[in-house]
Structure 1
Amino acid sequence: MLYERYRKEIVPKLMKELGYKNIMQVPKIEKIVINMGIKEKDDPKKIEGCVRDLMLISGQRPVVTKAKKSISDFGITKGDPVGCMVTLRGVRAYAFFEKLVNIVLPAIRDFRGVSADSFDGRGNFSLGLSDQLVFPEIKYDQIAKVQGMDICIVTTAKTDREGYYLLKALGMPFKD
């Protein structure tokens, strides 16, 4: 399991690479946030499908997110459902990361690695997937609509360099 490997092998390796003296300085995955946006706010079946897909992918019940304010250009009023999201922490976050790196990303057609430019300046990494069919839990005949998602990996790293070393050590395939 990735979490055990992180504690036993990766932490000492990162301490040496980054020059840390204290084990608590070593960056780790704090949480992983998966977000799916819903365009069809009036159709409850689309919302249920989004919630079901995200529950199958993450193993945890997602929260339906609602619009904070009305935006007339998008036809959204305050309180309308605009998506669903789930936050994974601890061992579940590491298990999802392992599935993402070893199963999902290699299943993407013409995948050559993720861009290292997707760090936010504080060591957190974001990536977007164009469809949910790359996850093994999702079957094509069970989905209502092919839909993408955003995955944000929040780390305790202070800089992008530290975050890069952490994710690289955990197995994230970066383009070089």
Structure 2
Amino acid sequence: MTRLENVYREKVVPVLQKEFAYSSPMQIPGIVKISLNIGLGSASQNNKLMEEAMTELSAIAGQKAVMTRAKKSIAAFKLREGMPIGCRVTLRKERMWDFLDKLMNFALPRVRDFRGIPDRGFDGRGNFTLGIKEHAIFPEMEADRIENPKGMNITIVTTATTDKEGKFLLEQLGMPFRK
């Protein structure tokens, strides 16, 4: 069991049970998966850029990245159906907890002028999406070796039914939301 998962089971679950007065332990929200996504519009013309992004995302996640392809052709963007446009990784169980711990304790504090994460990223069902402008904040990336800084989306999927429950869960785990 990872450190953050242990914190969730030992400390966060009783606090959630008390705060929301759940009648069943199965109602207590938890984290299901974390999805990481890098979208590269220019990768359809530059294959080297796509390979670089997949390698870097695999290093960050600790799991092999999968290439995403265009579902439709869009002439204005010189995009044809089936062309590579990004890469993604879905983390579950132990890797998910390790990544979340690394994100909250190592990566986010490395953001320049960091004052916390805005809580606008909730979707109405307790899931949270966070956009990062530079993936160089992760400890696996060496800043001087990165040629093209890339942004990424991080989606944390929870079993919470409302945004209030989802935010409370993430706050208890240590997510640094803006006050």
Write the distance in 2 (CA, Å) between the matches of 1:11 and 1:130: 32
Instruction: State the distance in 2 between where 1:3 and 1:64 align.
Output: 29
Among 111, 114, 118, which residue is 2:114 paired with?
A: 111
What amino acid sits opposite 1:62 in the alignment? A
Residue 97 (str. 1) matches residue 100 (str. 2)? yes
Shift in Å, 1:142: 2.8
Look up the equivalent residue of 2:6 and give its one-letter code. E
Once the two structures are TM-superposed, the CA of residue 9 in structure 1 deviates from its matched residue by: 1.3
SS at match of 1:152: strand
Per the alignment, residue 2 of structure 1 pairs with: 4
The residue number in structure 2 matching 1:22 is 24
Matches within 5 A, 1:53-68: 53-68=56-71
How far apart are the structure 1 equivalents of 2:111 and 2:147? 20
Q: Which amino acid aligns with 2:75?
A: S
| Residue from 22, 44, 47 that aligns with 2:47 | 44
**Taking structure 1 as the reference length, what is the TM-score of the superposition?**
0.97
Q: Work out the number of aligned pairs and report it.
A: 176
What is the Cα deviation at residue 130 of structure 1? 0.5
Q: Percent identity?
A: 48
Aligned partners of 1:140 and 1:113: how far apart in 2?
22
1:43-83 CA-to-partner distances (Å, cap 9, x unmatched) read 22101100011011000001100000101111110000000
* Structure-1 separation of matches of 2:94 and 2:27: 19
Question: Contact 1:49–1:143 at 8 Å: present in 2 too?
Answer: no
The partner residue of 2:76 within 73, 76, 81 is 73
Conservation of the 8 A alpha-carbon contact between 1:123 and 1:154: yes
Three-state SS of the structure 1 residue aligned to 2:6 is helix
User: Which amino acid is the alignment partner of residue 83 of structure 2?
Assistant: D
After TM superposition, which residue ranges in structure 1, 4 or more long, deviate above 4 angstroms?
none
The alignment partner of 1:162 has SS state of helix
The Cα shift of 1:141 comes to 3.4
TM-score (norm 2): 0.95
Q: Which residue of 2 aligns with 1:138?
A: 141
C-alpha separation between the residues in 1 aligned to 2:54 and 2:144? 16
Unaligned runs of 5+ in 2: none
Deviation (angstroms), 1:125: 0.3
Distance, in Å, in 1 between the alignment partners of 2:57 and 2:166 is 26
- Is 1:164 the counterpart of 2:167? The answer is yes
Amino acid at match of 1:27: P
Structure 2 distance, partners of 1:18, 1:65, is: 39
